[in-house]
A and B are shown apart, each in its own frame.
Chain A
Amino acid sequence: MNDLVYARRKKVNALMFALTAVCATLASGTLLAILGYIAWKGGSSLSWSFLVNLPKPVGEHGGGIANAIVGSAKVVGLAGVLGIPVGVSAGVYLAEYGRGKYAFSVRYAADIMNGVPSIVVGLFAYALIVHPMKKFSALSGSVALAFIMVPIVLRNTEEFLRLVPGTIREAALALGVPRWKVTLFVILPTAGRGIMTGALLALARVAGETAPLIFTAFGNRFADNGWLNPIATLPHTIYTYAISPYEDWHNQAWAAALILMAFVLVVNVTARLWLRPRLT
Chain B
Amino acid sequence: MRIAITALVAVGGIVLALVSALLLAAPLGGAPFDESFSNPRLVYAPTLAVIGVALVFSAAIVYELMPRIGDD
Q: Do A and B bind each other?
A: no
B interface residue numbers (CB < 8 A to A):
none
